Amino acid sequence: MQKRRLGKSGLEVSAIGLGCMGMSYGYGPPADRQEMIKLIRRAVELGVTFFDTAEAYGPYINEELVGEALAPFRGQVVIATKFGFKFDAAGGQSGMDSRPAHIREVAEASLDRLQVEAIDLFYQHRVDPDVPIEDVAGAVKDLIREGKVKHFGLSEAGAQTIRRAHAVQPVTALQSEYSLWFREPETEVLPALEELGIGFVAFSPLGKGFLTGKIDEQTTFDKTDFRNIVPRFTPENRKANQTMVDLLRRIAEQKQATPAQIALAWLLAQKPWIVPIPGTTKLKRLEENIAAVDVKLTPDDLREIESAASQITVQGARYPEHLQRRVGR
C-alpha cells in the first residue's frame, strides 16, 4: 500500500483509509460486530493504516469496535476520532458542544474506548457557532501538550475557520465530503489547505455508495438508513444522477477497473495530500477499494473525465436543510 503525508504535519497514513461509521451507524442496523472486527483486521493485513471513527457513531459503539479490532496493532496504525456533539439519554444527538471542558471529557472517554494512550488525530466534528474556534484549537493544543492527542483536525469547516484555528494550533487535516459528484471544496477550501500545508481527508468519496454503480432509482434503503432523508437520493434524483455513474463505467471499462476504483483513483490524482476514506461492511468491497491505488489515470484520462463531468449537473442537495446549516462555517 502506498503512503501519503497529510500536509506538512509529518503524519503518514495509507493512501486509502477505512471509514468505519457505516459498520455501526448511518446506513441501517449495525453490522455483526465480530464480522466487522475481522474486516478491520483484514484491512490492516492489506496495508491500511488509517481508520476513522467518532463518538457520535452509535453513539460510542463504533469507537469501542475500532478499539477492540485494532488493539493488536497499537503503534502500527493511525486512528482518527471526533468531538463536538452532545447526546440525550436515548443516544440521539441533542446539539453541539465544543466547550473546552467538554472536549477534554470526550478525549478521556475516547481514549478508554479506543484502548489507546493518545488519540492520533482528533477532529472537531462540526464547527460550533457558540464556541470561538480559537478556544477549540486552544483546548486541543493543551491535550497535545499533555500527550493525550497527537494531531488536531477539523471536519466540514470553511476556509476562514480553518485559518483561525490553524493560527492557534496547526491543523493536520480537514475532513470533508469530496468526490466527483460533490466538488465544492475545490473553490475555497483546497486552495487554503494547500497554502497552509494541511492535508485533506475525503469522506463519502464514493458518494455514499452511489458512485459504485450499485444503486439506482429502484434501490430501497433500510428505514434507519440516513440516505432516506438526503435530497440527492430521492428516486428521481438517483435516476437523473446515473449520468455520473455512466461516465465512471466508461472509464472503468477502458482501465479494466470498476466505477468505484475510478472514483477513488480520480481523488488520489487531485493532490498528493488527499486521502479518501471509503467505508464498507463487505470484504469484497474493501479489497476492491484498496486496489484503486493501483489504477493509474493519465493526464488524458483526467482531461476526459473533467470534460465529461463538467457537462453533468448533479441533482439534489447532499444534505437536508437542517444538516446543511452545520457545514462550511
Ordered domains of the chain (ranges, CATH)? 3-209+265-293 (3.20.20.100)
273 near 200, Cβ under 8 Å?
Answer: yes
Q: Is 57 a catalytic residue?
A: yes
Q: What is the mean pLDDT of residues 160-186?
A: 98
Q: Looking at residue 11, what is its pLDDT?
A: 98
162 near 171, Cβ under 8 Å?
Answer: yes
| Adjacent-strand bridge partners of 81 | 122
Three-class secondary structure of residue 131 per DSSP: coil
Q: What is the mean pLDDT of residues 226-231?
A: 96
89 pLDDT above the threshold of 90: no
Sign of the dihedral defined by the CA atoms of residues 46, 49, 54, 60, in that order: positive
End-to-end CA distance of the chain: 34
pTM of the model: 0.98
Which residue reads 484549537 in cell numbers?
A: 137
- The residue type at 138: G
Beta-strand runs (E) in the chain? 3-5, 12-14, 18-19, 50-52, 78-83, 85-87, 93-96, 119-124, 149-155, 171-177, 199-203, 274-276
- The model's confidence at residue 75, banded by pLDDT at 50, 70 and 90, is very high
CA 19 to chain centre: 6
110-164 tens-digit pLDDT = 999 999 999 999 999 999 999 999 999 999 999 999 999 999 999 999 999 999 9
CA 227 to chain centre: 16
- Please calculate the CA angle 278-247-232 and round it to the nearest 5 degrees: 60
Q: Looking at residue 90, what is its pLDDT?
A: 86
109 pLDDT above the threshold of 90: yes
Among candidates 135, 239, 172, which has minimal Cα distance to 13? 172
322 near 230, Cβ under 8 Å?
Answer: no
Query: Quick count: other Cβ atoms within 10 Å of Cβ 97?
Result: 18
208 near 234, Cβ under 8 Å?
Answer: no
Which residue reads 479489497 in cell numbers?
A: 287
Which of 25, 57, 123, 178 is labelled catalytic? Answer: 57
151 near 79, Cβ under 8 Å?
Answer: no
CA distance 18 to 38: 13
Q: Tell me how far CA of residue 164 lies from CA of 2, 100, 278, in angstroms.
A: 32, 16, 29
Q: Which helix (H) or strand (E) holds 301?
A: helix 299-309
